[in-house]
Amino acid sequence: MMTDNERTTPRVGFWEATVRGFKGVLDFEGRARRSEFWWYILAVYLLLCLLLIGVMSYIVASGNYVKGHDYVGTFSWLDTLLMLSATFLPYALCFSIQVRRLHDVGEGALWPCISFVTAFFTMLFWAIGIESIISGVDWFAVTDNFLADLLVLVGYISWMLFLIAQIIIIVNSLKDSQAHPNKYGDSPKYIVMIKH
C-alpha cells in the first residue's frame, strides 16, 4: 500500500520493455517491474512463434518430416536440434528478467534456476524421445531396461519440477513491487518523496 510520501513512476511500454529486456539478457542485478516483465515475455514469445514458423518451414521445405506413420524423408538430428533450440530459446532469454522480477518482490533466484535447468533437461529428453520415435530406435532394447527406466523417471521428475517452478514464478510475478528498497536495490516503481 502506498503512503503519502510515495509516488509511482509511469508504466513501462512494450518497446521500452523489449529493449530493456534484450539489453539485460545477462544482467541479474536489480529489479524489474511487472509491466517490464510481462511486455518482454510477450515480445520473446512472439519471437518464438516466428522462429518456430521458420524452423518448421525449413523442415517441410527440406522434405524432412513425418506424415502420420509413413516416413517421408529423414528427420535428422539437425532438425531435432533446431526445434529444441527454437523451443529452449525463450527460457534462455527470459531467465535474467525472471530473476530481476522476483528480486522486485523480495525473492531470490532459486525458482528461475530450477525452471531453467529443468526446462533444458525436459527438452533434451523430448528431443531424444522424438528422434527415437522417428528413427524407430527402441531405447529399451538398445540399453539396459534399468537405464531406460531411469531416463524416463528423470524426464518425468524434471517436467514436474519445471511446472512447479513456473507456477511459483508466475504467482510471484503477479505481485506488486515492494515499495521500499530491498537487498536487491531500489524499487523501479515507487519513489519515496522526502519531506522537509
Q: What is the pLDDT of residue 69?
A: 41
Helices (H) and strands (E) in the chain, counts: 6, 4
Residue range 66-92: average pLDDT? 64
- For residues 100 and 194, the model is more confident at 100
Cβ neighbours for 177, distance < 8 A, ≥ 6 positions apart: 31, 33, 34, 104, 105, 187, 188, 189, 190
Poorest-pLDDT segment among 59-63, 83-87, 129-133:
129-133
pLDDT in tens, 157-179: 888 998 999 999 999 999 998 88
Neighbouring C-beta atoms of residue 182, cutoff 10 Å: 16
- pLDDT interval class at 137 (50, 70, 90): low
- pLDDT interval class at 127 (50, 70, 90): low
Backbone φ and ψ for 132, nearest 5 degrees, come out as -70, -35
What length is written for the chain?
196
| E strand residue ranges, the chain | 6-8, 65-67, 70-72, 190-192
Alpha-carbon distances, residue 10 vs 7, 23, 125 (angstroms) = 10, 20, 43
Instruction: Quote the CA–CA distance of 65 and 73 in Å, as a whole number.
Output: 6
Neighbouring C-beta atoms of residue 192, cutoff 10 Å: 14
Instruction: Quote the CA–CA distance of 181 and 72 in Å, as a whole number.
Output: 59
Q: What is the pLDDT of residue 84?
A: 73
Cβ–Cβ < 8 Å for 155, 125: yes
Concatenating the DSSP letter of every residue in 59-82 gives: HHHTT-EEETTEEES---HHHHHH
Q: Is residue 161 helix, strand or coil?
A: helix
